[in-house]
Chain A
Amino acid sequence: MSLLAAAAATAATTFDVPANIVFAVLSVFMVIAAIRVVTTKNVVHAALWLVVVLGGNGIVYLILQAEFVAMTQFLVYLGAIVVLFLFGIMLTRAPLGRSDDLDNNQRAIGVTVGVALLGVLGWALLKTYGNDKLTFQAYDQATAVNGNGRTQALANSIFTDYLIPFEVVSVLLLAALIGAIVLARRD
């Protein structure tokens, strides 16, 4: 009996070990893929490495137990935006093979800014959030109030607290759609 209680007590923490392993492998892949996106000499390869980063992002959302956002990420990013990028590459007749003409001569500035920014951000994060653990307390509260899981709580949140921003975003999407058509049509 005490064994069962102990197992129940550690259930929350035993989930951590596989999640941490998945996260470690995934983050290595994502960082390598992100660096390949900004350094590769081939435009199409950049779009395909971007798929790895965006998909990895979706899996990170799953590790953080945000299922609905993860599904939206897969549908919108992998389904629509990457295809849009590939269309953009084809329509602008970018060099499909290797090309040495994709970077400008600001690499030193870029590395300096990137490393300095990473240093500042990393220092601030380590100093502020040191060893804080993820507790998922907000999700537990949301589930306790709604009773039917976090996706329902998320939907309630969008259509009550965030209704006006939601409508504004839909108008923005409509404006972007019309704007893109107006810009891209030939006449």
Chain B
Amino acid sequence: MLLNQFLLLAAVLFCVGVYGVIVRKNGVLVLMSVELILNAVNINLIAFSTFWGLGGQVFALFVIAVAAAEVGVGLAIVLLIYRNKRSIDIDELNELKG
């Protein structure tokens, strides 16, 4: 197995996630795209841990924990936006625009 096959898969998933963050308008779908990005990073960490020791796996576990926290708080924020504006359309949140 080549190292690069894992790294390239992760790169493709990362770029798809970035595309999703840019293009999606629904708040929940943006959070899903962020999950794609975080998972791509985890593949990289684990692929490198086969070379450099188990630290990569430990950090992958930390990333999973932080992703869980991020989704919890993120969905709470999306829910709050929905309650105040009756919509989770991110393009409508433009109150900072002059």
Contact = CB atoms under 8 A, between A and B. Distances in A.
Interface of A: 16, 19-20, 23, 27, 30-31, 34-35, 37-38, 43, 46-47, 50, 53-54, 57, 60-61, 63-66, 68-69, 72-73, 76-77, 80-81, 84-85, 87-89, 91-94, 101-104, 106-107, 109-111, 113-115, 117-118, 121-122, 125-126, 129-139, 141-142, 150, 153-154, 157-158, 161-162, 165-166, 169, 172-173, 175-177, 179-181, 183-184, 186
Contact of A38 (B23, B49, B53, B70): B23
Given A53-B39, A92-B88, A102-B26, A34 B51 contact: no
Contacts of B18: 110, 113-114, 117
B2 A150 contact: no
Interface in B11-54: 11-20, 22-29, 31-33, 35-36, 39, 42-43, 46-47, 49-54
B16 A184 contact: no
Given A53-B13, A183-B77, 18 more contacts: A68-B61, A69-B61, A72-B61, A73-B42, A77-B35, A77-B39, A85-B71, A94-B28, A104-B23, A106-B22, A107-B23, A121-B11, A122-B8, A133-B3, A154-B54, A173-B65, A176-B70, A184-B80
Given A80-B68, A102-B25, A117-B18, A54 B35 contact: yes
Contacts of B66: 169, 172
B79 to A, nearest CB: 5
Nearest to B70: A176
A99 to B, nearest CB: 9
A186 B76 CA distance: 12
Q: Which 8 A-B pairs have the closest CB atoms?
A: A38-B20, A176-B69, A114-B19, A183-B76, A110-B22, A110-B23, A121-B11, A180-B76
B28 to A, nearest CB: 5
> Do most interface residues of chain A lie in helix, strand or loop, or is the interface mixed?
helix
A172 B39 CA distance: 19
B98 interface: no
B19 A85 contact: no
B15 A121 contact: yes
Contacts of A166: 62
A23 B7 CA distance: 12
A80 B70 CA distance: 13
B69 A172 contact: yes
B4 to A, nearest CB: 5
A8 to B, nearest CB: 19
A133 B15 contact: no
A91 B76 CA distance: 10
B1 interface: yes
